[in-house]
Amino acid sequence: EAGVTQSPTHLIKTRGQQATLRCSPISGHTSVYWYQQALGLGLQFLLWYDEGEERNRGNFPPRFSGRQFPNYSSELNVNALELEDSALYLCASSFSSSGTFFRLYFGPGTRLTVT
């Protein structure tokens, strides 16, 4: 069984630019979650997509957005990049949650560096 995949592995951007991160869930999973792991801040919940809809978002500004495609893969977009956006971005997938949580399967992450 192929795991959750993320691309690119590393991304270097300049302040003010836009970054696009991609995630492919495990086959059969319809929920995709995005997390930000910045140094010293732990794992912060960003977004949850299920069946193509945004179900919940964490306490992040609107310049963090995303979408889920019909094949359940997902894209995270970060506009107007700031230095503090530098972090490891982790994607996870699970079967549809419907208000309860199943085990999350995490991808290897995308390391975003903003200079």
Among 33, 49, 64, 72, binds other proteins (CB under 8 A): 33
Q: Please enumerate in sequence order all residues whose Cβ is within 8 A of that of 31, keeping only pairs 6 or more positions apart, or say none.
A: 25, 48, 49, 50, 51, 55, 93, 94, 95, 96, 97
82: its two tokens: 């700031």
Task: Check residue 41 and give left, alpha or beta (phi > 0: left; psi -120 to 50: alpha).
Answer: alpha
Q: What are phi and psi of 84, to 5 degrees?
A: -75, 0
- Quick one: 5 or 20, whose CB is closer to other proteins? 5
Min dist. Cβ of residue 3 to other proteins (A): 8
Contact map string, positions 52 to 91, toward other proteins, x by CB under 8 A: ---xx-x-----------------------------x-x-
Min dist. Cβ of residue 71 to other proteins (A): 21
- Quick one: 23 or 81, whose CB is closer to other proteins? 23
User: What is the spatial distance between Cα 49 and Cα 115, in angstroms, rounded to a whole number?
Assistant: 29
> Which residues in this chain contact other proteins in the complex, by CB under 8 A?
4, 33, 35, 41-43, 45, 48, 55-56, 58, 88, 90, 92, 97, 99-101, 103-109, 111
